[in-house]
Structures are given as C-alpha cells and as structure tokens.
Amino acid sequence: MRIGIDCRNILNQKGEVAGVGHYTYFLVKNILKTDKKNEYFLYFDYKMANKTKEFEQKNVQIKFFPFSQYKRYMPFSYSHMLISAVLIKDKLDVFHAPAYACPLTYPGKIVLTVHDLAIYRHPSWFPSGQSFSTKILVPKSIKKAVRIIAVSKATKRDIMKLFKTPSDKVSVVYEGVVPQKSIGKTKSVSKTIIQRKYKIGEKYLFFIGTIEPRKNLVALIKAYNSLLLKNYKKFKDYDLVIAGKKGWKYEEIFKTIKDQKFNYKIRFLNYVSQEHKVALMKNATCFVFPTLYEGFGLPIAEAMSMGVPVITSKVSSMPEVSGDAALLIDPNKIVDIEKALAKVLANKRLREKMSKAGISQAKKFTWAKAAKETIKVYQDIGKKKEKKVKEKKK
C-alpha cells in the first residue's frame, strides 16, 4: 500500500508532550518502526525542511507541499486544491489526516483522527464565535473520511452523536504514554532544584494543563481552601501547585485564587519545561485533574506511569484512561473533590496502592500498540479496495 500522512503539525515534537503535534510525531515514529512493507509518503511544511532526517528509511518518501510558505496569502479553496493535486499525483491508497481536518477537494480514501470535541459539546468554554474550521471544515472532513480514528470511546460516542456517524466508521485507538527517557534529551531534575526554583514545599498536590474553564480549576481551588479551613493542622504541609499556559477565559481562576484565605499556599507556575514538568509530577504527593471534559486525558496516564496517585473526574474519557487506579470524583461537586483530597492525603497505604495500580494501568497505553492498530485501519481500507477491484473484474 501507498500510505500518506500529513505531518505538518510536527514542529517542536520533542519539547512538547501534548497536542496534535505530539500525537503525530510519536504515532509516525512508531508506525515506521513497526511497518517496513508498506510505502509511506510523509508530507511536511517547508518549516520542517531541515528536521526530517529522523524519518528517513527505505520505505519512506519525504514530501513538502509546494508554496506552503505562501499559504497565508492563498484563498482557502486554492490551498486545498494544491494539496489535493500533490496527493493525487502520488497515487495514494490512503491518506491520514491526524488533525481533525482534511483537504476537502481530495477524491481519495481518507483516514481522519479526531481528538477532542469539547467546542461542540460546551461552546461556552471557548472564546465567542465559532471559526470556519469549527463550522465547516471539521464537520465536512468527518463526513468525507472513509474511516475515523477516535482517541477514546468517549470521543467515539461524541462523533456518532454530534455528526450522526455510523459506529463501524469509527475506530478507537488510544494514545500512548512516552517513557521519560524517550522524550528528546530530557534530563533528570532533582526535587530540591524544583522546590527552590518554584518556592514550593516538600509536599504538594499537582495540576498541569491549559488554564481554561473546562479544567475546572475554580472548583479545585475552592476544594483545597475548604480542606485547609476544616483541618489546617492535618493538611497544612501540602501546597497546591498549578502549572500550564494561559488559554482563554482564565480571569475567574486567578480571581478565585486571590479570594481564598490560603491563597499563599497556591502556586501558579505558568508554562514549565518538559524536564521540570516531569520532576514536578514525579515528586507530587498526588496529581489532581478535576477536568470537565477531555478527548483522552494524557496527563492522567503520564502521572500513573510515574506511580503518582491520581484524583480525576468520572466524566468523558477519564474513567477509560484511569481504570480502577484513580479516585474518581464528580467534578461539579466541590465537596466531592475536597473529600477525595482528604482521603488520599490522609492515607499513605491508599496512596501506595494507587501508585502500583496506576503503573499497571498506564502500561496499557503505548505508542507501539497505537501504531499497530492504526496500521490495521489502513490495511482494512486496502482490503476493501482490493475486494472492489476483484468484483469489478468479475
């Protein structure tokens, strides 16, 4: 088979540990490691011209979409026609678009990965006004694709419900957890260095993610403050550490921190490097992720892989990812989050049990497995094509 994959979103793939670029990078690397028989065409943006060497092997052709440096000046339809022309010329059996959208004028077989449909489920969490991509490009891409890869069963249910997509068109392929040693040149950072740099105590609860409404940080902050108000002596040694870049509608989150009595024990670190993120998560007493919606919930799997006890929500994809290893809470009930915090922090034996269960659960999510299941999706399309050719000959 001749398989094309859109790799344009791979940029700082080794320095980032989330997002579509991360997904595409590790999926492609593992597909190429697994499959030496099929022929792969990897399509990049001109910005990656000097960064594609690691993808080179006998069954791979590296391609660059023409005029991509001028795409900002091109009409949408024209840019799609150019991309389609390149794909048609390469006579692909299947083209994989790993980032929600595909070239709408391309007549060939398309596999589309859908990661997260939060903007359709809860538009109020996002800046007002839907973009062209949200209104037209993504819905039309979902309709056009012959197969869709969903990163969780929860995402599959959303695709089926929101876009009236038949079940047999959607395959669930979970993301993988990257071993710490495999993420670029990640260096081990000591707990002491982290404590000094960010001025945090030896014991702390940790959250990392985009600072936005759906992460439910207002509820977490209030639950933490309430915990200390009710039992300060017992839990006074625990700080709440929040890391992540600011997204949108984050003003209420920082106002909530300011309004709490124990705001001096809440540390906001903003964006942190991969090395520091690993150190912060690895040394946390507990990872708390009371999000209201996730397509997959990679931070949960990452925390479990490090043996860190996890408290997370019993909604969308979180129960799938955490299995029986995490303590699940109702994210809409502050008291529920507070009780979970108290339960985990007060019971060392429980934390040890959750740590072991988390390590075991995280092993279910590997990029090698994701690659094999994705290749199977490609092959299924190829078999259907061969079957149609044989039927025509008869």
Instruction: Give per-residue pLDDT as tens, 195-235.
Output: 899 999 899 999 999 999 999 999 999 999 999 999 999 99
**Domain shared by 382 and 309, yes or no:** no
Summarize pLDDT for 28-37 with one digit per residue, the tens. 999 999 999 9
pLDDT-derived band at 389 (thresholds 50, 70, 90) equals: low
The phi, psi pair for 219, rounded to 5°, reads -65, -40
Count CB neighbours of 352 within 10 A. 12
**Domain shared by 327 and 308, yes or no:** yes
Q: Name residue 96's beta-bridge partners.
A: 5, 111
**Domain shared by 343 and 373, yes or no:** no
**Domain shared by 287 and 331, yes or no:** yes
Quote the number of domains for the chain.
2
Average pLDDT on 306-334 reads 97
Residue 23 Cα distances to 20, 27, 38, 296, angstroms:
5, 6, 21, 11
**Domain shared by 291 and 371, yes or no:** no
CATH of the domain at 297: 3.40.50.2000
pLDDT: which is higher, 83 or 385:
83
pLDDT of residue 37: 95
**Domain shared by 313 and 211, yes or no:** yes
Summarize pLDDT for 63-96 with one digit per residue, the tens. 998 766 656 655 666 678 889 999 999 999 999 9
For residue 13, pLDDT over 80 is answered with: no
Domain holding 119, by residue range, is: 2-176+366-393
DSSP strands (E only) in 1-92: 2-6, 39-44, 60-64
**Domain shared by 71 and 97, yes or no:** yes
Is there a contact between 67 and 74 (Cβ–Cβ < 8 Å)?
Answer: yes
**Domain shared by 146 and 209, yes or no:** no
**Domain shared by 351 and 287, yes or no:** yes
For residue 183, pLDDT over 50 is answered with: no
Q: Name residue 87's beta-bridge partners.
A: none
**Domain shared by 307 and 383, yes or no:** no
pLDDT of residue 154: 97
**Domain shared by 161 and 226, yes or no:** no
**Domain shared by 203 and 161, yes or no:** no
For residue 183, how far is the Cα from the chain centroid?
15
